[in-house]
Amino acid sequence: MALGAVTHQNTIYEATVPVALYVAAVLGHPVAGMAAHRPTLVVLLEWLSDTAYDADDACVAIAERCCDEGCRDECCRQMREFRDVRPAVFSGVHPLLGHDDADVRDAALVAAIPLAEHPVLTLYRTELVDHARRLLATSTHRRRRYRVLDAMKAWGHDTGSLDNADEAEARGLRARRMAERHSWTGGYCEDPPF
């Protein structure tokens, strides 16, 4: 995907923030909502979602814990810049929660969730949980379901009745692997190859 150049391998670069703001601004353009462009709209929302997850509270904590000081300052600076514009990005994503196409609505929800970590946006979590319950009742898209279930649990909601046995087992395995990866204390931050 063309946007990979501004967030290659879960790294947020200097160009990422202006591109994210531009993408958020064009989401509401009438042409973007036309049926022929809906796949593009979903791809843009997925990119915003991935970028927001790459700068969420957990990623910042990992960067601060695992990177050496010089690398941490640069890496965290780019993350902080993205985190500062989350309300502006959210304003582009939020209207799409009511889109008539389920794929667009679901992609918008998954993009909105990590953006709602911003203190100004936490008041939207109740609305997002309502959308999340709808997604969990209608979608079989595993990645989206995981992201929604993770958010609901983090926000203190009981998800036991919303999770099926196969998903619970897969999520447990994923959590164990993430814990193993997060326990690594060696530095893994290096300059990009360009």
What's the rounded Cα separation, in Å, for the pair 55 and 59? Answer: 6
User: What are the pLDDT digits (tens) for 142-157?
Assistant: 889 989 998 888 888 8
Identify the three-state secondary structure at position 140. coil
What's the rounded Cα separation, in Å, for the pair 49 and 7? Answer: 12
- Predicted confidence at residue 8, as pLDDT, reads 64
pLDDT beyond 70 at 57: yes
Compute how many other C-beta atoms are within 10 angstroms of the C-beta atom of residue 175. Answer: 11
With 0-12 / 13-18 / 19 or more C-beta atoms within 10 angstroms meaning exposed / middle / buried, residue 28 is middle
Q: What's this model's pTM, rounded to 2 decimal places? A: 0.79
